[in-house]
Structure 1
Amino acid sequence: MPKLFRYGLPIVLLILGAYYYFSPSENAIDNSIPEVVDYNYHIRPILSDRCFKCHGPDANKRKANLRLDTPEGAYAAFKDNKAMHAIVAGNPNASDAYLRLITKDTSQRMPPMNSHLTVSVHEIELIEKWIKQGAVYKPHWAFIKPVQSTLPEADKDWARSPIDYFVYAKMEEKGLSPSEEATKEQLLKRVSLDLTGLPPGLDMQDRFLQDNSEKAYEKMVDELLASKHYGEKMATPWLDLARYADSHGYQDDGLRTMWPWRDWVIHAFNSNYSYAKFLTWQLAGDLFPKPTKEMLLATGFNRNHKITQEGGVIDEEYRVEYVNDRTNTFSKSFLALTFECARCHDHKYDPISQKDYYSTFAFFNQVPEKGLFGTIDASFADPPNMSISTKDVKAILKFINKKDTSSVDVMIMADSTHRRPTYVLSRGNYDMHGAEVTMGLPKSILPFDGKKYGQNRLGLARWLLDKNNPLTARVFVNRIWAQIFGRGIVKTVGDFGMQGELPTHPELLDWLAVDFQKNGWNIKRLVKQLVMSATYRQSSTLTKNALKTDPENIYLSRMSRIRIPAEQIRDQVLASSGLLNREIGGPSVKTYQPKGLWEVATSGRGSLMNYIQDHNQDLYRRGMYVFIKRTVPPPSMLIFDASNRDQCEVQRGRTNTPLQALVMMNDPHVLESARIMASKLSQEQGNLENKIKQSFRKIICRNPSKKEMDLLTIYYQQEEESFKKSPQKVQKLMKIGEYKLEKARNTSATAALMLTIQLIYNMEEAIMRV
């Protein structure tokens, strides 16, 4: 057999197997024509993808003076031929837009050949039937106020909450059925990781396994929600969204001190502040009649953007960049819309004009700041700022973890006493002023009444929380759903616009959004609703039928199996070994990092020019407290898709690369944790089987199978034999990491157990939430 074929055959088989399992099946793609063709769910996605770029909201790029995104534009007579219309309701053969789709003349066909876009036969049939049925346009689904529908029929023996009724109905529609409930071990690990970001300890595992009461799971959920670590878990994705970092960014990338704001976010989640309060204080805490220091601190949300400290920059250019950043962050965070696309021209897909963009920009344009301010060493925060003293921490801001007696300066929001005029900026250029605009927001979402809400950021918050605002509750509920289930009801968590995905369960999303509002925007209540559902409690075991019918688990007939976030991977390793420093809040820490990374990336100025590692207990803080220098983020976490915090990031990607395996095999924290766990177990009484089993339970959070135990035992024996022959290797392994044990046993048995534990850390299940 030729060498190439000999090695290539497995690859060919692998590719064929992947195609068989992951290519869409007949069941996965529904090519049937529905009885009623809906504009939002069947037609608008086609038009948005293929037509709106040239025939949409952007007047500057519009071709043939034709709009297809509005009924007025689509139904109107052509200017050069009054007898012709793009769409004639009820008559496809009189509709020029339809005729252009089916013509054989390539010079007339739409989309044009040079666009490299096509419309399938199935899509053309949908458009034809839609026109025959009256070509009814509807507002974009996300701009229609959510309404709670009645619960659909469901298997009452399976359903545990209203959520399950909607999920079951969709499963049944797609020919799927629920999975069995996960084992108690799987369920405890899952809910512990989702609510605190930490694995359950052996004591918690034992308590839950021994509790056979009907309320056993709910009691565990309540315990985890009450944990001080709940706030840390909930805060981490919010830090991505708020672009929190410990440096300013840009080339100089000097030090900044915003960690007290991070402490506030953790405190707000632990205290279960309503989302209304959480949102309002961050957007406009400074604009209350008598704002407290806590309210002012919360506004640091809008000062987390990058700031330049480089000489020679144009001050106004960068000041405008900061306002753009706040505008874009506002739209992504609270509305899940891509306002930034309208900075230079009208949005090509969504009903957001350039004027709308700068009317929103005006809310954030009143801060008395400069484009270039402060010092490279951050000896004080750029104004507007606030000083936090030891007295403040003892009397008012008790949640701040401040260890020394010196004051801490943080940046906050404040508006100037004089209103700064805001202009439409031609092509987005800071110095090309167009028409002056006042504060406002897109009418397509909800008209902004300045007299009703107030012409400032507090009015902006009131507009967001108006019961008629169609987006605020939907967007937040969907984001929490994505954190719990691994995928949003709207997959594009940061884009509810025309180019975003349609909701897979629209009635469920609306039911949850209205329920969230009705119940005081209560975040803990929402989280508990999700994790108490039968949908959440399902096994993640994947059947062949489910894989072929629903490979992405869109219809939730099983629980998603997902890798835990970068920070939690670090937490999982440290917590399972007993090394984790569980201190809440405080300044960021610099842990183990390859030498020279900062030095090669620095401009050669400031206190962050060189990386100076921390020591002792600071080495073992949670991942969310690891120092983030924007130009050189922590490499081990970046490899696991952590955000570099350059800008608002509402959803991280999930990749699989060989580098991730190399991190788990070689990262000092992983090796050190394995060393410490092995050394502690070596000092305990008990046989090898119990020590391996205990290690497995601490890391994987379940009892190992006999096959797993056999493999780990064989591996241990092989390594122990190897270390007996090369004792010098034992001493080398026992020197990894800075943590010292007084009674460490540096023996071949300890070293072999260390590598066995390292092997367990490298199991896929060690860093998966199943």
Structure 2
Amino acid sequence: MYYRAITFLLTGFASCLAWNVSLNAADSKVTFEKEIRPIFKAYCFHCHGEEKELSGSLDVRLRRLLMKGGDSGEAIVPGKHAESLLYQYVESGEMPPDEKLRLKPEEVALIAKWIDQGASAGPEPKGDIKPGEFLITEDERTHWAFRPIRKTAVPEVTELVKEQNKTDVNPVDAFIARKLNDNGLWFSEEADRLTLIRRAAFDLTGLPPAPEEIKVYLADQSPDAYEKMIDRLLASPHYGERWARHWLDVAGYADSEGYNDKDIVRPDAWHYRDYVIRSLNADKPWDQFITEQLAGDELVKATHASAQKLVDQDPAVCEKLTATGFLRLAPDGTGSSPMDPAIARNQVITETVKIMSSSLLGMTIGCAECHHHRFDPIPQQDFYRLRAVIAPVYDAEKWRMPASRRAALMSPEDKAKAAKLTAEVKELDAEHNKVKAEVTQLIAERVLKEIPESEREQAKLAYETEVKKRSQEQAEFLKKKYPMLDLLVPGRLHLFLARYKDGNELKKRYEDIKEKADKLRAQIPQPEYIRVATEDPQHLPETFVFYRGDISSPEADKIEPGGLTVIGSETENVFPVNNPELPTTGRRLAYARYLTNGKHPLVARVLMNRFWMHHFGKAIVDSTGDFGSRSSIPTHPELLDWLAADFMEHGWQLKRIHRLIMTSRTYRQTSTAHSEKAASIDADNRLLWRMTMRRLEAEAIRDAILAVSGDLNREQFGVPVPVALSDSGIITVGAGKISEDRRELKRSIYIQVRRTQPVTMLNAFDAPSMEPNCERRVFSTVATQSLALLNSEFMRNQSVAFAKRVLASAGKDADDATLIKTAWKMALSAEPSAAEMQALEKSFALQLNEYESKKVKDPRQEALASLCHVLFGTNQFLYVE
């Protein structure tokens, strides 16, 4: 029967397929490259092309191979789908054989349509194609994201030039205007000043604008008042905190190892977080920023053996080594997991490759660990080429546990102080040991006097004999009859001091020396540590493809380090195995320079797409973490390329891009405009005919609450604020109390990120779980968010603090209307409308009456706190217009 001739075996990993195949109109042409081959690739390649032995001798990787048929003859009869064996078996459900893994009806219909239209295909690779050989078609190579970045001329839009001088047109507006104009749309009006400053402040600092900044901006009537406001925000130290949070998401930053329920704390990871904040505040070029994270150790020529010495000699080295903490962010259970150590190590390396590729390349290459990518032109070998790039810092044969991947940090002053105090303690310890021996002898004499005279000499002889040299008879004699003597050794002296504390001067001296030494010892500065990625030049690890991802089944051919095969020529993306000019292999440095040489088609596009998303709430390419063949179609591809090219041409500096985007007419539009025509043409606002209203992220909500209440601790950097499980079962910041240094009130970026203990309030508002990273956040609307804002002790405390701030600002003698207006302006950076004032005054009066009836201590403050609590929960507070 024909069953053997055409066997379409659907493997397990195809179960996650979610094809969005849309059937075209009846007369539209179905293309093999765009529509049919991806179906075959997902369902059939594994048995019919990727393996060295073809099932049924049928190869479906190319149209010309498919047309050869298999053991039982033709698989396709062009123009006649009903007579085609391939169609018969997929339509009947006999293929694939697993009933749970069937082609969808629309996919089967698409295959039938393609056959009926003649089963044609475009140009295909020529020459002999061997089974098992990975194919990349020309169509795959010319996918939009793999093409070179091209900076096209800024379009001239007549309607835009009519409204502005040609030289004043922002390039962003030109590209957006052309698309709007082509679709019968146009820009909405500009937002008012209060809306703009609130939007800009949250975008750049993650905090609401301070009243003083609002006052300065509103009073400035110069033509460039807006631009000056943007520059002040970019110069804010809080800018780095805001934009570091975006990068830390994709980098997978956490303060714990994750991997299992133990979730061991990473006490030193925070130095990397602070490095990112400082780098962004300094507007460090992103090509340098990327290179330092991938290969900071190679930039300073540090190895396992030399890293500590280099740090001690030159503090500047510390920054470069701290940057390599990027390669130490993946979940790591090698120090705590009961799993097979080899499997645990492999998992760490795999997760690191995933983080590296998703953050910098915007590609999902994880499935290529076990097999050729089911959708993208990524052979399994590519995964291991990237793995070979980082293999020297994750050497499975010379594995270093997390606690040993670090270097100590101490300032010259602390080193000098530590040396001085250590020397003093050493002298005291020597004196202390001498006195200890004398005190021990004194107490021994006391104990011996209490022993009957008949056994005293025997006990004395046994005691004075060194423990290791005592005879069995002596040891048993002391243990059974005189255990006090058996226990009396200098290390256990504290057990006897209380009993024999009779004012003896020698014992008092012993205790005084010990106390002094302990006090000095406590004053010795302790080093901090940075997590680093370094190599051991004495051992060069080799990389092999693991058959189906099984570490116990390495294939024979050794894999050299390199980039993705589909991008560039082989000479461009294959790197030295061991650079003789460096004490390290140089692999990561070569890879970083390859990524940032201005020719790579993905890196700048991926970064720019994310930057755009953080300003507009929507990306130009909606699939921010997947630029492969299943990516979303860019809404403005020429704009994305123009921005990416401009970014690289001008030194990879992000603050310049912020200015360009935020000074555009596109960015300054109102978000409240309503147009039935525009809504009917572009309901999702993909073309940006207005600004998109966006909900704040979890951290920005908490930070805004603290800023408005006046409780925000703006101290930067340092050890993470610990999280704790409260008695009520929620994860809180700190232990539910505010410490003297108010560290619990620092910005959310400084809160400890525990993978298994996300802060309950932040979790409610979709703070990501780093497993292993988060390339894009989700924004949900669920009841638990309202509950988190209404029923937490944190919200109650902040509402009271906010009320006190309002009273201090307006004055305790201020009337109700003044208090309400002051609170509204502080919380929302806006003026309340007449209707809003009426509703708030009525609510305030009801609350005041209620608290007065209960005879609380300060009913007016309590009523105001209730109103402040309400403001924290409004959409105007939680969203940015």
Question: Normalized against structure 1, the TM-score is what?
Answer: 0.82
Residue 74 of structure 1 deviates from its aligned partner by 2.6
Of residues 612, 615, 623, the one that matches 1:484 is 615
Following the alignment from structure 2 to structure 1, what is the Cα–Cα distance between the partners of residues 66 and 36?
19
Q: Which residue of 1 aligns with 2:43?
A: 54
Structure 1 residue 670, shift from structure 2 partner:
2.4
Residue 200 of structure 2 aligns with which residue? 191
By how many angstroms is 1:351 displaced?
1.1
1:118 — aligned with what?
106
Letter in 2 for 1:212: Q
Per-residue CA distance 1:640-668 (angstroms, 9 max, x = gap): 11112231211011111000111111233
Amino acid at match of 2:839: L
The alpha-carbon distance between structure 1 residues 756 and 281, as it changes in their structure 2 partners (threshold 3 A), is: same
1:766 aligns with 2:869: no
Partner of 2:720: 588
Of residues 528, 536, 547 in structure 1, which corresponds to 2:667?
A: 536
State the distance in 2 between where 1:505 and 1:390 align. Answer: 50
- For 2:196 and 2:59, the matched residues in 1 are separated by 52
Does 2:364 match 1:338?
yes
Structure 1 match to 2:461: none
Q: Secondary structure of 1:118's match?
A: helix
Unaligned residue ranges in structure 2 (runs of 5+)? 1-21, 125-137, 303-316, 417-522, 580-585
Please state if 1:252 is matched with 2:262: yes
More displaced 10-residue stretch of structure 1: 698-707 or 97-106? 97-106
Aligned residue in 1 for 2:383: 357
Q: In structure 1, what residue type is equivalent to 2:362? A: A
Partner of 2:700: 568
Q: CA deviation at 1:497?
A: 0.8
- Higher mean Cα deviation, 95-104 or 108-117? 95-104
SS at match of 1:409: strand
Matched residue type, 1:296: L
| Distance of aligned partners of 1:100 and 1:529 in 2 relative to their CA distance in 1, 3 Å threshold | farther
How many angstroms apart in 2 are the aligned matches of 1:556 and 1:288?
A: 43
Q: Say if 1:449 and 1:122 are closer, same or farther in 2 by CA, change over 3 A.
A: closer
Find the partner of 1:79 among 68, 83, 89.
Answer: 68
What is the CA deviation profile of residues 187-226 of structure 1, one whole-angstrom value per residue up to 9, with x for unaligned ones? Answer: 1111110000000011111221222221011001111111
The alpha-carbon distance between structure 1 residues 553 and 295, as it changes in their structure 2 partners (threshold 3 A), is same
Q: Is the 8 A contact 2:724 2:731 kept in 1?
A: no
Structure 1 residue 442 corresponds to structure 2 residue 568: no
Between 1:300-309 and 1:336-345, the stretch displaced more is 300-309
Cα separation, 2, equivalents of 1:325 and 1:173: 44
Would you say how many aligned residue pairs link Structure 1 and Structure 2?
Answer: 694
Between 632-641 and 48-57, the greater mean CA deviation after superposition = 48-57
Distance 1:273 1:101, change over 3 A: farther
Counterpart of 1:548 in structure 2 is 680
Distance 1:30 1:550 in 2: 22
Question: Do 1:318 and 1:371's aligned partners in 2 also have CA atoms closer than 8 Å?
Answer: no
Q: What do residues 445-484 of structure 1 show as CA deviations (whole Å, max 9, x unaligned)?
A: 2331325996511111012113321111111111111111
Measure how far apart 1:422 and its partner are: 1.1
Q: Shift of residue 748 of structure 1?
A: 0.8
Change (3 A) 1:145 1:63: farther
Letter in 2 for 1:344: C
Matching residue of 2:349: 323
Aligned to 1:213: 222
Picking from 280, 290, 294, the partner of 1:269 is 280
Q: Counterpart of 2:544 in 1: which secondary structure?
A: strand
Gaps of 5+ in 1: 1-28, 376-380, 396-402, 601-607, 731-745
* Residue of structure 1 aligned with 2:863, choices 743, 752, 755: 752
Give the Cα separation in 2 of the matches to 1:476 and 1:105: 42
Equivalent in the alignment of 1:632:
757
Which secondary structure state, in structure 2, belongs to the residue aligned with residue 557 of structure 1? coil
The amino acid that maps onto 1:432 is S
**Structure 1, 461-470 or 505-514: larger mean CA deviation:** 461-470
Specify the SS of the correspondent of 2:393: coil
**AA aligned opposite 2:207:** L
3-state SS, counterpart of residue 147 of structure 1: coil
Deviation of the 1:285 alpha carbon: 0.4
Question: Counterparts of 2:383 and 2:821 in 1: how far apart (Å)?
Answer: 59
From 526, 532, 537, the equivalent of 2:657 is 526
Question: What is the identity, as a one-letter code, of the residue corresponding to 1:517?
Answer: M
**Paired position in structure 1 for 2:841:** 713
| Alignment match, 1:413 | 533
Task: Decide whether aligned partners of structure 1 residues 599 and 710 sit closer, same or farther in structure 2, where only a CA change above 3 A counts.
Answer: closer
Q: Deviations over 1:97-125 (max 9, x none)?
A: 99899999944999999322415999998
Contact 2:78–2:119 at 8 Å: present in 1 too? Answer: no
Residues of 1 paired with 2:83 and 2:613: CA distance? 38
- Report what 1:9 is aligned to: none
**Contact kept? 1:369, 1:384, Cα under 8 Å:** no
Specify whether residues 349 and 698 from structure 1 end up closer, same or farther in structure 2 by C-alpha distance, changes over 3 A only.
same
Match of 2:793?
A: 668
Residues 205 and 236, structure 2, Cα contact 8 Å, conserved in 1: yes
Secondary structure of residue in 2 paired with 1:153 = coil
CA distance in 2: counterparts of 1:295 and 1:79, whole angstroms: 57
Q: Which residue of 2 aligns with 1:427?
A: 548
Change (3 A) 1:57 1:541: farther
Larger radius of gyration: 2
For the 8 Å contact 2:58–2:69, the answer to whether it is kept is no
CA distance in 1, matches of 2:229, 2:82: 59
TM-score by length of 2: 0.72
C-alpha RMSD of matched pairs (Å):
3.8
Q: Aligned partners of 2:594, 2:738: CA distance in 1, in Å?
A: 45
Distance 2:549 2:634 in 1: 32
Question: Paired residue for 2:323?
Answer: 298
Q: Which residue of 1 aligns with 2:289?
A: 278
CA distance 1:456–1:678, change in 2 (3 Å): same
What corresponds to 1:615 in structure 2? 739
Task: Report the counterpart of residue 133 of structure 2 in structure 1.
Answer: none
User: Given the alignment of the two structures, is residue 145 of structure 1 paired with residue 159 of structure 2, yes or no?
Assistant: no
**Aligned counterpart, 2:632:** 501
CA–CA separation in structure 2 for the residues paired with 1:467 and 1:505: 21
CA 1:515 to 1:102, structure 2 compared with 1: closer, same or farther past 3 Å?
farther
- Indicate the larger mover: 682-691 or 642-651: 682-691
User: Distance in 2 between the 1:575 and 1:268 partners?
Assistant: 24
* Shift, 1:182, TM fit: 1.0
Equivalent residue for 1:386, pick from 402, 407, 410: 407
**Residues 474 and 666 of structure 1, relative CA distance in 2, 3 Å threshold:** same
Does structure 2 retain, via aligned residues, the 8 Å contact 1:453–1:462? Answer: no
Quick check: 1:474 aligned with 2:585?
Answer: no
User: Identity across aligned pairs (percent)?
Assistant: 30
Task: Tell me which residue corresponds to 1:693.
Answer: 821
Q: One-letter code of the match for 2:318? A: K
Matched residues in 2 for 1:621 and 1:365: separation? 38
The amino acid that maps onto 2:404 is P
Q: In structure 2, give the amino acid aligned to 1:118.
A: E
Alpha-carbon shift at residue 673 of structure 1 (Å): 1.8
CA distance in 2, matches of 1:491, 1:231: 25
Q: CA deviation at 1:618?
A: 1.0
1:691 aligned counterpart, secondary structure: helix
Q: Distance in 1 between matches of 2:190 and 2:27?
A: 34
For residues 421 and 169 of structure 1, what CA distance do their matches in structure 2 show?
53
Structure 2 CA distance for partners of 1:95 and 1:506, relative to 1, 3 Å: farther
Distance 2:851 2:390 in 1: 64
CA distance in 1, matches of 2:152, 2:244: 32
Q: Structure 1 residues 105-114 or 470-479, which shifts more?
A: 105-114
What corresponds to 2:9 in structure 1? none
- For the 8 Å contact 1:67–1:74, the answer to whether it is kept is no
SS of 1:424's equivalent in the other structure is strand
